[in-house]
Amino acid sequence: MTLTTRLEKYIEGTLIELQREDQDEMLIQIGNPDSYLRDELIYQSYGKMIFSHQLNACELDTLLFRLKQDNNLFHGIGESGTDSVFKRSFSALVIAAIIEYDNVIRQLDNHTILDTVVKVADYMIAEKDTRGFIEGKGWAHSIAHGADVLEALAKHPEINNEGITKILNAIEHSLLRQVNYLDEEEDRLAIIIPSLLMMQDTEKEIQLWIGNIREVVETRLDENIGLIGAYHTQRTVKNFLKSVYLILRSKEQGGKVNNDVFKILEKWMYLR
């Protein structure tokens, strides 16, 4: 049987477990340009293995370690417009699943979690290919998938102050990089903020961080009057802040942060 057939049977439930050879091949093919194999079969199979407790602590740790290496999360890093983005972005997506699982099970040690924060933040800053949906090949969505990992890490009990700073720096870089996001990347980044507020004592730090982003955006607008790049950056940050505001308001959370967010939106929005 081909890998495709075995994974189809595994997802259907007619194949109970995947063999080690299958798992090794999945890791090799995790960024296959075929969206059916990559997204519907390999990613879904990883999710099933992880959340149905089919990987023990050692196997989970090993998988996470391999996903963070240069030939997965950093495969072809710096390239843009090539298929290497699929391997990076789907390595990130499986890392997110592992961290979400560990938020409940708590099998990974402190060093592993903090190393993951550093690696994923570094990946988010180094990623140059910000495409979302690619015609004929499906979702790349590197920034959204990286945001999913950061959101899972933000909720993890082992995150320390250094890790929180890394997460905020990665979000900031993604917002200020003068990219026209088309596929709701700002929303995925925004979800990280309430997770940080819920799990960590971060309200004051996030207030200062949001104020700094406002200053950067307004300085760019003042220094680049009439240039479209500065406007696009403001639009990206504004979309992000709108999402943060709505999420926090719906959760009745982060009142001081949301007051600051509202004041920025009130100032920036074109209101008649």
- The residue-averaged pLDDT of 199-227 equals 92
How confident is the model over 205-228, as a mean pLDDT? 93
Q: Residue 57: which residues within 8 A CB-CB, separation 6 or more?
A: 107, 108
Q: Own/partner pairs for 35-41, CB < 8 Å, 24+ apart?
A: 35/137, 35/138, 35/139, 36/4, 37/3, 37/4, 37/7, 38/86, 38/90, 38/138, 39/90, 39/138, 39/139, 41/3, 41/4, 41/7, 41/8, 41/11
Contacts of 183 (CB under 8 A, 6+ apart): 132, 133, 141, 144
Whether residue 5 is predicted with pLDDT greater than 80 in this model: the reply is yes
Please check the confidence at residue 204 and state whether its pLDDT lies above 90: yes
Closest CA to 38 of 188, 126, 139, 179: 139
Architecture (CATH level 2) of domain 55-268: Alpha Horseshoe (1.25)
pLDDT at residue 271 is higher than 60: no
Per the listing, tokens 């990974």 go with: 108
The percentage of the chain sitting over the pLDDT mark of 70, rounded to a whole number, equals 99
Average pLDDT, the chain: 96
**Is the pLDDT assigned to residue 213 strictly greater than 50?**
yes
Ramachandran class of 260: left when φ > 0, alpha when ψ lies in -120 to 50, beta otherwise: alpha
* pTM, entire model: 0.95
Proportion of the chain above pLDDT 90, given as a percent: 93
- 191 and 151 in contact (C-beta within 8 Å)? yes
Indicate whether 82 pLDDT > 90.
yes
Q: Express each pLDDT in 27-80 by its tens digit.
A: 999 999 999 999 999 999 999 999 999 999 999 999 999 999 999 999 999 999
According to DSSP H, which parts of 106-184 are helical?
110-126, 142-154, 161-176
Question: 201 falls in which pLDDT band (50, 70, 90)?
Answer: confident
- For the chain, count helices (H), then strands (E): 14, 2
| pLDDT recorded at residue 272 | 44
Name the least confident of 156-165, 188-197, 224-233, 254-263.
224-233
Q: How confident is the model at residue 178 (pLDDT cuts 50, 70, 90)?
A: confident
- At position 120, the amino acid (one-letter code) is V
